[in-house]
Structure 1
Amino acid sequence: MKTIKKQFNVYSLEELKALDTEAYEVAIQNVREDYTETQIDFFYQDMEETMKGFADTFNISITDYSFGIYHNSYVNVNIDDYMDLDNGEKKDLVKKANNLQYEDCSFTGVTTDEYITDYFKENEVTYNDLHKHLEDVLHVAVRNFTNDLENELEDDTNILDYAIDGDFEFLEDGRIYY
Structure 2
Amino acid sequence: SCGVNEPSRNRNIIFQRLQAKDEKKEHIAVEADDKIIIPATSCSEPRQSTAHVQFTPSFLGGSQLHHTEGDTFEYTITDLPDDRAGQYALSLRLCNVHLKQQPLLLTVSGGETSAGGGTEDRDVVGVLSIVVPYTVGEWEWTDPVTIHLVPGTNVLGFSRETPNFGLSIKDIICTPIP
TM-score w.r.t. length of structure 1: 0.28
TM-score w.r.t. length of structure 2: 0.28
- Structure in which a larger fraction of residues adopt helix: 1
Instruction: State the structure with more CA Rg.
Output: 1
